[in-house]
Chains A and B, each alone.
Chain A
Amino acid sequence: AQTVTQSQPEMSVQEAETVTLSCTYDTSESDYYLFWYKQPPSRQMILVIRQEAYKQQNATENRFSVNFQKAAKSFSLKISDSQLGDAAMYFCAVHDSGGGADGLTFGKGTHLIIQP
């Protein structure tokens, strides 16, 4: 079974600064995918970034980048030049196809506060 741990229930950052959200996971599979989702106050679930485990290069999407450490099973999200619109819950998730199940496993989330 997969597990995802987000050890920071809440993080706060000044606007325009950089913040890093932590995520560790556990899976018995060697081939899997990792995700960060954003859930703003509207409670939509928006995909922020995706990383394939077999790719060593860290994924980047504009101001969002990840630090993927496969051996440590760590997948942190870095948000540069934080903006007020980045305020949201951020969920880390892992997907593998092992054991026949095919759903994403999510962490409990980190509430990100942006201070103007």
Chain B
Amino acid sequence: AQRVTQPEKLLSVFKGAPVELKCNYSYSGSPELFWYVQYSRQRLQLLLRHISRESIKGFTADLNKGETSFHLKKPFAQEEDSAMCYCALKGNTDKLIFGTGTRLQVFP
């Protein structure tokens, strides 16, 4: 079964602190993994996809097939990073399977 698990409902840090939002997945084939974010009063938007291997807004995420994880990391959090963050998986069809989301709160 395809499943995405985000164990933390809420992650609160102070500005400048490192963040790591956990994401684990279950999929028998080779998945594509994404992080989508929703800032306050804004639409859901793509932050990162694993195939790009890029850093966006200082965030990175590495696909670890051995641990079936795709954790989102940033060394120094900023207040504007506060958002609802969703990890998502795409298998061999078009649909995205989302996790339940983690609310990232960055305090000043």
A binds B: no
